[in-house]
C-alpha cells in the first residue's frame, strides 16, 4: 500500500471520528501480515483517534497464519486486532498438497506450531479455524477436526467453521465438484460428529453481507474502493477512490446497486448482492 493511501485512510479516520460510535477494520489480502508495517501504522492511528474522540475501535484479520508467530500475535493484540480467521485445507498431507511455498515446501507444520504457541497466550481473543472441505478431502477434514478438538476443544477462544469450497471464478473452477444443498448438509453433519466438536446453534436471523451495507467500504492497496472482497476483478465492484487527504470519490450508481437489496428489503440478494448484480447485468 503506497504511503499516499495510508495517509488517506488516516485522514479519513480523523475526519469521520467525531461522527462515529464504532469503527471496525477488517484486514484482508492477499496476506496482510506481509505488510504488517501498514497494518500497524493504521491500527495505531485508529486506536489513538478512538480514544481522543470517544468511539469504540475493534479490528479483525483474515490470515493464512504462516507469519502469525507468538510475537507477531501479541503485537496484533496490542493494536486491538483480537479476532482472526485462519483457514486449513485439511490435515497435514492434504493441506500441504495445496498450500505450498514458492519453494514447493508445505506450510502446515509452521501454521499449526504458531497456533499451539498462541494458545498459551493469556489474553482475550477469538480465532476461527476455517476448515475447507470438498468431496475429495472431507474425510481428512473430519480427522483434522478431531485433532483440533483434542488439543483446543476446551479453549473457548478457538472455534471451528467447516466451509465447503465453491466456484468463485478462476481457471480451476471447473475442477470443483459443486455440492448440492442436501449433500452439503450430510457432509457437515458427518464432520461435526466425526470431529466431536460442538456445533454452534444455527442463527435465526437472515445473514446480510457487508457489501450490502451502506457503512462498509473496501479500500484496496492501490487506493481504489470496492464493496466486495470476492468480485475483485469485476468492473461494477470498482466504485471509486480515496485521496491522500481522506476525500472519498464514489460512483453513486455503482454504490446504490450494491446496497439496493438492503434498502428495498430484497433479503434473498442481501446475503450476496454480487449474485444479484450478476443476474441483473446478464438479464
The pLDDT mean for the chain works out to 92
- Cis? peptide before 169, omega within 30° of 0: no
pLDDT of residue 167: 67
Average pLDDT over residues 21-36: 95
Closest CA to 84 of 168, 161, 144: 161
Per residue in 15-28, pLDDT tens? Answer: 999 999 999 999 99
CA 214 to CA 256: how far, in whole Å? 9
Answer with the residue of higher pLDDT: 203 or 157: 157
What nine digits make up the cell of 83? 479476532
Largest CA distance in the chain: 54
pLDDT of residue 273: 93
From residue 184, alpha-carbon distances to 50, 128, 163, 197, 198 in Å are 42, 20, 10, 18, 18
Average pLDDT over residues 125-131: 97
* pTM for this model (two decimals): 0.90
CB atoms within 10 A of CB 153: 17
The domains of the chain, with CATH numbers, are 3-195 (3.20.20.70), 210-282 (no CATH)
Per residue in 196-213, pLDDT tens? Answer: 998 887 654 678 999 999
CB atoms within 10 A of CB 18: 11
pLDDT of residue 180: 75
Amino acid at each position: 500500500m503506497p504511503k499516499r493511501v495510508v495517509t488517506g485512510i488516516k485522514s479519513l479516520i480523523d475526519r469521520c471520528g467525531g461522527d462515529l460510535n464504532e469503527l471496525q477494520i477488517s484486514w484482508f489480502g492477499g496476506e496482510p501480515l506481509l505488510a504488517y508495517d501498514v497494518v500497524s501504522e493504521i491500527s495505531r492511528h485508529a486506536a489513538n483517534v478512538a480514544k481522543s474522540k470517544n468511539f469504540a475501535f475493534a479490528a479483525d484479520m483474515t490470515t493464512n497464519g504462516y507469519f502469525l508467530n507468538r510475537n507477531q500475535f501479541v503485537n496484533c493484540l496490542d493494536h486491538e486486532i483480537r479476532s482472526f480467521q485462519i483457514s486449513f485445507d485439511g490435515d497435514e498431507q492434504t493441506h500441504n498438497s495445496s498450500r505450498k511455498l514458492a519453494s514447493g515446501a508445505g506450510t502446515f507444520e509452521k501454521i499449526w506450531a504458531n497456533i499451539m504457541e498462541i494458545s498459551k497466550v493469556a489474553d482475550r481473543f477469538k480465532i476461527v479455524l476455517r476448515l475447507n472441505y470438498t468431496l475429495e478431502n472431507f474425510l481428512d477434514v473430519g480427522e483434522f477436526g478431531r485433532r483440533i478438538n483434542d488439543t483446543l476443544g476446551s479453549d473457548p477462544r478457538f472455534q471451528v467453521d467447516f466451509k465447503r469450497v465453491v466456484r468463485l471464478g478462476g481457471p480451476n473452477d471447473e475442477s470443483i465438484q459443486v455440492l448440492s444443498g442436501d449433500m452439503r448438509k450430510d457432509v457437515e453433519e458427518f464432520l461435526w460428529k466425526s470431529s466431536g466438536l460442538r456445533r454452534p446453534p444455527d442463527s435465526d436471523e437472515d445473514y446480510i453481507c457487508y457489501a450490502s451495507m451502506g457503512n462498509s467500504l473496501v479500500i484496496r492497496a492501490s487506493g481504489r474502493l470496492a464493496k466486495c472482497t470476492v468480485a475483485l476483478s469485476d468492473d461494477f465492484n470498482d466504485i471509486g477512490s480515496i485521496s491522500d487527504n481522506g476525500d472519498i470519490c464514489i460512483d453513486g450508481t455503482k454504490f446504490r446497486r450494491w446496497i439496493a437489496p438492503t434498502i428495498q428489503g430484497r433479503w434473498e440478494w442481501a446475503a450476496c448482492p454480487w449474485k444479484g448484480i450478476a443476474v441483473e447485468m446478464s438479464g
